[in-house]
Amino acid sequence: MDDTFTMRVRAAAAATWWTVLVGVVFVLMIWVVYLALISNSNPPAWFVPLTGIGHGISWPDLQHVSLWFVCCFKFFVYMLIFAAIWLTLWGRQLKKRTSAS
């Protein structure tokens, strides 16, 4: 195996792990904001002007959409974690094969 390819795979794995870390921090921040929004049964003051923009949007609809946004983002972060694990294991195998040659 080519040593530069092994280094690139390992660098991609490291970059993916850093991206996972940023994604997890972002999910935690979004989740805190979501919990703050859900805890109020009454809509906040900034929501009232938005009802004029999107006709038929209610407070429960906004809460439902925000929950789906958080769920979808978490799904993509999980897929990124699987990709990071795969790249890490592949990089280790390439490193073993390169050192054995």
User: What ranges do the domains of the chain cover?
Assistant: 3-100
Average pLDDT per consecutive 10 residues, the chain (101 residues; last block may be shorter): 85 96 94 81 74 70 85 95 96 87 72
Which amino acid makes up residue 21? L
* Cα gap 56→87, rounded to integer Å: 46
> How many Cβ atoms are within 10 Å of 98's Cβ, its own excluded?
14
Place of tokens 């009232």: 48
* Cα gap 55→41, rounded to integer Å: 20
- State the maximum Cα–Cα separation within the chain, in Å, rounded to a whole number: 68
Whole-prediction pTM: 0.77
Residue 54: per-residue pLDDT = 62
